[in-house]
């Protein structure tokens, strides 16, 4: 490893040292039930809901939350045959890849 390369000693590497990384635009989490997911973030941790919207011809509900430095979106599929339903059945709520 060169003297200029950041070490991997368990410390966070600043975004300015990661080529091409400029920051976090938002974070999206797939959830089967938005209201259930809100109980942790809103009711327990106090992260407010900014707004909600139904998109993609009524197939997805996005709930936008304020985490302070980046928005968090809960993504809830609203129709039984939406591809996220199969992903949620296999993986549970979380970050889709």
Secondary structure (H, E, C), the chain: CCCCCCCCCCCCCCHHHCCCCCCCCCEEEECCCHHHHHHHHHHHCCCCEEEEEEECCCCEEEEEEECCCCEEEEEEECCCCCHHHHHHHHHCCECCC
pLDDT at 41 over 90: no
Question: What is the structure's pLDDT at 70?
Answer: 81
Distance CA 80, CA 21 (A): 36
Select from 3.30.1330.20, 3.10.180.10, 1.10.3720.10, 2.40.50.100 the CATH code of 24-91.
3.10.180.10
Q: Do residues 30 and 84 lie in contact, with contact meaning Cβ atoms separated by under 8 Å? A: yes
7-11, 15-19, 64-68, 87-91: least confident range: 7-11
* pTM greater than 0.95 (yes/no): no
The domain ranges of the chain are 24-91
Residue 63, both tokens: 């709930």
| Residue with token string 């936008």 | 64
Record the tokens describing residue 46, joined without a space: 């106090």
């Amino acid at each position: 490893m060169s003297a200029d390369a950041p070490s991997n000693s368990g410390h966070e590497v600043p975004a300015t040292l990661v080529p091409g990384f400029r920051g976090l635009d938002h974070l999206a989490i797939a959830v089967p039930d938005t209201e259930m997911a809100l109980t942790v973030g809103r009711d327990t941790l106090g992260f407010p809901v900014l707004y909600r919207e139904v998109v993609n011809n009524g197939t997805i509900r996005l709930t936008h939350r304020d985490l302070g430095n980046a928005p968090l979106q809960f993504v809830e599929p609203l129709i039984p045959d939406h591809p996220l339903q199969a992903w949620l059945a296999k993986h549970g709520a979380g970050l889709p890849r």
